[in-house]
Structure 1
Amino acid sequence: MRIAQRLAALCLLATGACAQSLMEPLTIWPPGPGDVLVAQQPDNELSSMLNQIDPKRIQAIIEKLVSFGTRHTASNQTDPVRGIGAARDWIASQMRTFAAASNGRMTVTVPSFIQQPTNSFPNATLISNIIATLTGSKEPNRVYVVSGHYDSRVTSILNNIDDAPGADDDGSGVAISMELARIMATHQPAATIMFAAVAGEEQGLFGSDFMAKTLKQQGADVQGMLDNDIVGASKGDAGSNDPFSIRMFVSGLPPSNTASQNNALASIGGENDSPAHQLGRFVAEVSQNSVTQMNVRTIFRPDRFLRGGDHESFLDQGFPAVRFTEPHENFAHQHQDVRIVNGVQFGDLAEFCDFDFNARVGKVNGAALWSLAQAPGTPKNLIIDTSVLTNNSTLTWDVDPHQDEIASYEVVWRETDQAQWNRVISIGLVNKVTVDLSKDNVQMGVRAVGKNGFKSPAAFPMPS
């Protein structure tokens, strides 16, 4: 940090004027670009949790899910050993076992509804989600979600009889939710984490839509959702193999935006700065390190071509969400009847999963989830002053109701053609600042720094 910046921040604290200064601008002078942004690293508690993610437990979960034969959403719901009902009950039982170690902090629910007949459901069908909620110790209404879908399918979306193993799609994602729930149940995050296994994904995202709408109706402040769907195999077709990378799909303009909101973003070149993009940048920053041993490949589009996932249900409700999917897919092992053709095995079988890879993807999710839940919330209502022509930039944002947990704020910035925030200016405990950076030349954001050292995702400013 430049000396003048340090003096400004120290002066602010030394005068005891933090509370009084919350509506006064702090000007960074003389002009300077700030420091190089250094990625947040996991602390000892987080490192310990990530190192507990067990490939053998991942394998056991996936093989147990496969053992139910089919998990088609319209399969048998009362048979104790076959069908989606047996899978639902087993997942819920496991989650309750994890919750028993939480001293009451984690609760498990199985919210359900009747889906009326559609093209993919000839008959009315009960759809159930399993949700383990680890309530935040300081901000219970600020919520982060990790999810996989436990339903499966074969070639015909209406076939609810034949075996549909669903090992990779999406036993692998469910295994991550369950393994993280097991490990984090004995810890105390500041904000709430929900570990979900949802159904009805293959027929049209019905379970996740129900969950996202319920959270919206309850007024939950969902600041991030991580969807894990097809994250269990490092090898794709044609021999492709990339065991230390995971794709993260990050949507652009929020589907919940109005035309005027999109126009406002477009007017300042903010198409690449949606809340989902800020969540994606955060995940890329905190989840690529020596503990996870993973590269997070950020792809700025909602999903692969011709595909979709449960993150879209959360995006539709205005919640930031991203999707993880393995780096190279083998389509012979997705949405296929189990069969052998010309010596080629088709079907989503556990033998094609890479459980060590799956566990590393779990570490990526765990690093992101815990870093989100322990950090302050993303600053709200960030505004950049556009009332006058100036080469400085003035930013204002709301005072956080949990200000006593915040040590300071930082302005982050990058050149407009760069993907990640890469410069940072420490500005102290204020909620208005003028920096000697031209808003015409760069993109800026503001993030909160907790007293525990965890930093929030950045907020992106809208014009005044």
Structure 2
Amino acid sequence: MARLAVIPTIILALASSSPALSQPDTDAALLEQIRQDVSADRIEKDIRTLVGFGTRHTLSETDSETRGIGAARRWVYEEFNRISAACGGCLEVSYQSDFIEGEKRIPNRTEVVNVIAIQRGTMDPSRYVIMSGDIDSRVSDVMDYTSDAPGANDNASGLAGVLEAARVLSKHKFAGSIVYAGLSGEEQGLFGGKIMAAQAKEDGWRITGVLNNDMIGNIEGINGVINNTTARVFMEGTRMNETPEEARARRFYGGEVDSPSRNLGRYVHRIAEEHIPNLDVMMVYRLDRFGRGGHHRPFNDLGYPGVRIMETNENYNRQHQDLRTENGIRYGDVIEGVNFNYAAKLTGLNALTMAALSRAPAPPMNVSIEGAVSPDTTLKWAMPNVQGTGNLAGYKVYWRLTSEPTWTNSRYVGNVNEATLENIVIDNYLFGVAAVSKDGFESPVVFPGPAGDFYPFHPTKP
């Protein structure tokens, strides 16, 4: 490993006569091009194709060419290959699977198969951002694998978003790698995510973020609200695998609301605020909906940052329901319940987030803070020991009041590894550091200490 270069320290004063450093401008034209390239028509076509398989239940038949989970995943595999052919073979497409048995919802030996496409980064290919959607569907009885289960919104909408993001982003180059994942076994117990997360850890992936898309097409809530201008991002707080020592440090130094998943969620919120017209992101400080789960959770369980992106207004008459009409109410997850323009809007949010994350440098590591009983606050950090650092321009320090949900104050400090904020008292604010690329893209903000570390168990520390 290369040794970390000695970089000078910069002292920042609130009232300084010296000119402030200028951060490189963000390539907003790239993000706008990506946003406009997302097609609601293509998403609709993909959702209709997935619905056409009749059922995609994890336990459904696998030999048919037209019905069941086997036909569906083969179509997804072929679609990824078609996308790859259009970009000169830029995607590495593969199946990923394991056999599951003896589980409550998978009692008999069943192969759970994911479909994965990787777009390798040009500078830092071992750093990944993942967008996932689920292949499988279900009806009222989770063990009913023969009845029609269209799964139009849950979750053909999320999977169609993954395919569309691959079509759009594969036209461009990125420093880090992007993974497009069709995961199976979600309704039976999040098994596809468990398989992928375990393999990622075994292979030593540095995952900056997992964007799990589960239901991104419904705008009519069970409460009667119709709204296509909001989305929710669910993001856990404290890491699942936090050690007792880390918990004790967090108690004294903070970090309950600044886990990597929370700062990934803030990143998604900022992308929407700055680049997606007519979309407000609701940041929900919870792992998932109350008592429920999704395919980001297996990644969170292993310490990876991950969030769930989804519609704001759910319609439970269309989720996990047998196709029927009772008392004038139509039940079932059918194509008529999907708003394709809304699904395209949330797909665009994902695509822009992954583009920005992958164009940005890796988040800083070993972020530390000091300033107790002092009028000033000092932050220190290091660049990860990876080869792909040629796009790094410098770093940006952030701070906010402890009651603020998003970062409100920031200052670009250049290519340094330490900065002191004079007359900003450590007791009154929360702090963090982000890396900035030469074309203005920022990494997520990293909170000091183990509570905020994006890559806690990777051998990339200087």
TM-score, normalization: structure 1? 0.91
SS in 2 for 1:440: helix
Specify the alignment match of 2:212 in structure 1.
Answer: 227
- Name the amino acid aligned to 2:396: E
Specify the alignment match of 2:35 in structure 1.
Answer: 50
Are positions 1:26 and 2:10 aligned together?
yes
- Deviation of 1:266 after TM superposition, in Å, equals 2.4
Is the 8 Å Cα contact of residues 149 and 229 (structure 1) preserved in structure 2? yes
Are positions 1:399 and 2:406 aligned together?
no
- Once the two structures are superposed, what CA deviation does each residue of 1:4-34 show, in whole Å capped at 9, x if it has no partner? xxxxxxxxxxxxxxx9751x432113557x9
Is the 8 Å Cα contact of residues 434 and 442 (structure 2) preserved in structure 1? yes
Q: Distance in 1 between matches of 2:14 and 2:106?
A: 65
SS in 2 for 1:108: strand
- Once the two structures are superposed, what CA deviation does each residue of 1:55-93 show, in whole Å capped at 9, x if it has no partner? 111111111111111100000011111100000011110
1:37-76 to structure 2, matched below 5 A, reads 43-76=28-61
Specify the alignment match of 1:123 in structure 2.
Answer: 108
Are positions 1:390 and 2:408 aligned together?
no
User: Which of these residues, 394, 398, 401, is aligned with residue 412 of structure 1?
Assistant: 398
Is the 8 Å Cα contact of residues 287 and 365 (structure 1) preserved in structure 2? no
Specify the alignment match of 2:309 in structure 1.
Answer: 324
Specify the alignment match of 2:411 in structure 1.
Answer: 425
Is the 8 Å Cα contact of residues 101 and 109 (structure 2) preserved in structure 1? yes
Q: Distance in 2 between matches of 1:189 and 1:68?
A: 34
SS in 1 for 2:33: helix
User: Which of these residues, 422, 425, 431, is aligned with residue 444 of structure 1?
Assistant: 431
Q: Distance in 2 between matches of 1:463 and 1:26?
A: 24
**Unpaired runs of 5+ in structure 2?**
452-462
Could you say what the CA RMSD is over the residues aligned between the two structures, in angstroms?
A: 2.0
1:10-159 to structure 2, matched below 5 A, reads 22=7, 24-29=8-13, 43-159=28-144
Are positions 1:202 and 2:202 aligned together?
no
- Once the two structures are superposed, what CA deviation does each residue of 1:95-140 show, in whole Å capped at 9, x if it has no partner? 1000112223211111111112311012111111011110000000
SS in 2 for 1:194: strand
Is the 8 Å Cα contact of residues 137 and 189 (structure 1) preserved in structure 2? yes
Q: Distance in 2 between matches of 1:102 and 1:323?
A: 29
- Once the two structures are superposed, what CA deviation does each residue of 1:236-259 show, in whole Å capped at 9, x if it has no partner? 123211101101111110112112
User: Which of these residues, 432, 444, 457, is aligned with residue 457 of structure 1?
Assistant: 444
SS in 2 for 1:241: coil
- Name the amino acid aligned to 1:88: R
- Deviation of 1:287 after TM superposition, in Å, equals 2.3
- Name the amino acid aligned to 1:27: I
Specify the alignment match of 1:169 in structure 2.
Answer: 154
Q: Distance in 1 between matches of 2:433 and 2:184?
A: 37
Cα distance change on mapping 1:243 and 1:350 into 2, 3 Å: same
Q: Distance in 2 between matches of 1:171 and 1:234?
A: 15
Cα distance change on mapping 1:290 and 1:112 into 2, 3 Å: closer
Q: Distance in 1 between matches of 2:159 and 2:248?
A: 38
Is the 8 Å Cα contact of residues 368 and 379 (structure 2) preserved in structure 1? yes
Q: Distance in 2 between matches of 1:78 and 1:461?
A: 52
SS in 2 for 1:76: coil
Specify the alignment match of 2:279 in structure 1.
Answer: 294
SS in 1 for 2:187: helix
Is the 8 Å Cα contact of residues 447 and 458 (structure 1) preserved in structure 2? yes
User: Which of these residues, 252, 274, 278, is aligned with residue 263 of structure 2?
Assistant: 278
- Name the amino acid aligned to 1:138: M
- Once the two structures are superposed, what CA deviation does each residue of 1:181-204 show, in whole Å capped at 9, x if it has no partner? 111122111100000110000011
Q: Distance in 2 between matches of 1:428 and 1:183?
A: 32
- Deviation of 1:448 after TM superposition, in Å, equals 1.0
SS in 2 for 1:183: helix
Which sits farther off after the overlay, 377-386 or 160-169?
377-386
Q: Distance in 2 between matches of 1:297 and 1:435?
A: 31
- Name the amino acid aligned to 2:45: A
Specify the alignment match of 2:221 in structure 1.
Answer: 236
- Once the two structures are superposed, what CA deviation does each residue of 1:124-171 show, in whole Å capped at 9, x if it has no partner? 111110111100000000000000111001111111110111011100
Give the share of equivalent positions with the same residue, in percent. 35
Cα distance change on mapping 1:159 and 1:399 into 2, 3 Å: same
Are positions 1:215 and 2:187 aligned together?
no
Q: Distance in 1 between matches of 2:390 and 2:121?
A: 16
Size of the aligned set, in residue pairs, is: 441
Is the 8 Å Cα contact of residues 294 and 364 (structure 1) preserved in structure 2? no
TM-score, normalization: structure 2? 0.92
Q: Distance in 1 between matches of 2:248 and 2:138?
A: 40
Is the 8 Å Cα contact of residues 31 and 352 (structure 2) preserved in structure 1? yes
Q: Distance in 2 between matches of 1:21 and 1:379?
A: 15
Q: Distance in 1 between matches of 2:193 and 2:315?
A: 25
Which sits farther off after the overlay, 434-443 or 327-336?
434-443
Specify the alignment match of 1:353 in structure 2.
Answer: 338
Are positions 1:340 and 2:325 aligned together?
yes
Q: Distance in 1 between matches of 2:199 and 2:30?
A: 32
Which sits farther off after the overlay, 97-106 or 240-249?
97-106
- Name the amino acid aligned to 1:251: E
SS in 1 for 2:394: strand
Which sits farther off after the overlay, 280-289 or 366-375?
280-289
Is the 8 Å Cα contact of residues 292 and 363 (structure 1) preserved in structure 2? no
SS in 2 for 1:238: coil
- Once the two structures are superposed, what CA deviation does each residue of 1:334-392 show, in whole Å capped at 9, x if it has no partner? 01111111111101001011000000000111111100000111111101136x63221
Is the 8 Å Cα contact of residues 14 and 421 (structure 2) preserved in structure 1? no
**Unpaired runs of 5+ in structure 1?**
1-18
- Name the amino acid aligned to 2:260: P
- Name the amino acid aligned to 2:259: S
Specify the alignment match of 2:175 in structure 1.
Answer: 190
- Deviation of 1:462 after TM superposition, in Å, equals 2.0
